[in-house]
Amino acid sequence: AQTVTQSQPEMSVQEAETVTLSCTYDTSESDYYLFWYKQPPSRQMILVIRQEAYKQQNATENRFSVNFQKAAKSFSLKISDSQLGDAAMYFCAYRSAFKGGSEKLVFGKGTKLTVNP
């Protein structure tokens, strides 16, 4: 079974600075997808960024980028120019690429990000 580990229960960053959230995962599959979801106090789950395991190039979405190290099974999220609105729980998630198997998302336990003004 796949597992996702987020080793930082809480992180804080100053507004306008950069922060990196860690995520590692365990799988025996070679093809899969990785996601970062953001959950603000409103509870809504918002997709931040996704990465296909077969792509070597790291995904980027505006101020959000990932450092995907497939051999190390590491998938960290970098937030540049942090804004107050970035404060939220961040969840790393894994999804198998094998159709008909486990299309479910497996989540890490989350990292609570605080942005200080």
Partner 1 sequence: DTAVSQTPKYLVTQMGNDKSIKCEQNLGHDTMYWYKQDSKKFLKIMFSYNNKELIINETVPNRFSPKSPDKAHLNLHINSLELGDSAVYFCASSPAAVVNEKLFFGSGTQLSVL
Q: Which token pair is 46?
A: 């918002």
Task: Dump strand ranges (E) for the chain.
Answer: 3-5, 10-14, 19-21, 24-26, 32-39, 46-52, 60-61, 64-69, 74-79, 88-96, 105-107, 111-116
Using rule CB under 8 A, residue 43 touches partner 1: yes
Using rule CB under 8 A, residue 64 touches partner 1: no
Closest approach of Cβ 25 to partner 1, in Å? Answer: 15
Closest approach of Cβ 54 to partner 1, in Å? Answer: 10
Closest approach of Cβ 52 to partner 1, in Å? Answer: 6
In angstroms, the Cα distances linking 6 to 23, 55, 64, 83 are: 5, 22, 17, 22
Q: Which residues within the stretch 73-112 sit at the binding site for partner 1 (CB under 8 A)?
A: 89, 91, 95-99, 102-107, 109-110, 112
Contact residues for partner 1, defined by CB under 8 A? 33, 35, 39, 42-45, 47, 50, 52, 89, 91, 95-99, 102-107, 109-110, 112
